[in-house]
Copies of this chain bind each other. A is one copy, B any other.
């Protein structure tokens, strides 16, 4: 077993369903596919040059994640969340992320802190709003990841997936960026000082504040439809 060749684990390679799942997931999370938009199996199959079978598998998985809703014989639509549902998901995130960062700051490495700082800086500098969502996610996720709780992290990630297409509206349309920038700095600082309690409280406030701002915005926005 000493062949001078870089090998990859082909068993872990992606099936067509995997590729389609990832693509749809990303499009929904980024908001490219809008709230309530109808997803036609045939259309997606044609786009990816496959039959409808792997498309259906991807859709089944997306539904299990809550990102789409399937109605038998009618089709799949991108899930459209009520204000209550959005609000609940932010509360959920505040609970989970507040707890995880408390545990994380005790074990987070200096390299990881440096990475988080880098993401925070990029987030503050970059002006392309398409990048904000991802940089925001990277910043937070980086702070959490050293605590070695993969299940918690996966659930957190999924919860974020379910609200990011709304969060983006909050950042872009309510001057949320400037506030987020400051709050990120505060959280990062608490992490650098290894102050779990402060990091937790600031993270909770960060999430719940964004929630309030978003809900307020959506309340106005949804009236004029």
Contacts and interface: CB of A to CB of B under 8 A. Distances in A.
Contacts of A53: 53
A151 B158 CA distance: 12
Interface stretch (A11-19, A27-35, A174-182): A11-19
Contacts of A57: 56-57, 60
A208 to B, nearest CB: 14
Copies held by the complex: 2
A11 B64 CA distance: 18
Interface string A120-158: 000000000000000000000000000001111001000
Contact of A65 (B64, B73, B88): B64
Given A56-B57, A61-B63, 17 more contacts: A11-B73, A12-B72, A13-B72, A15-B72, A57-B60, A60-B60, A60-B64, A64-B64, A85-B151, A88-B149, A88-B151, A88-B152, A89-B151, A92-B149, A92-B152, A95-B95, A95-B99
Interface of A: 11-13, 15, 17, 53, 56-57, 60-61, 63-65, 71-74, 85, 88-89, 91-92, 95-96, 99, 149-152, 155
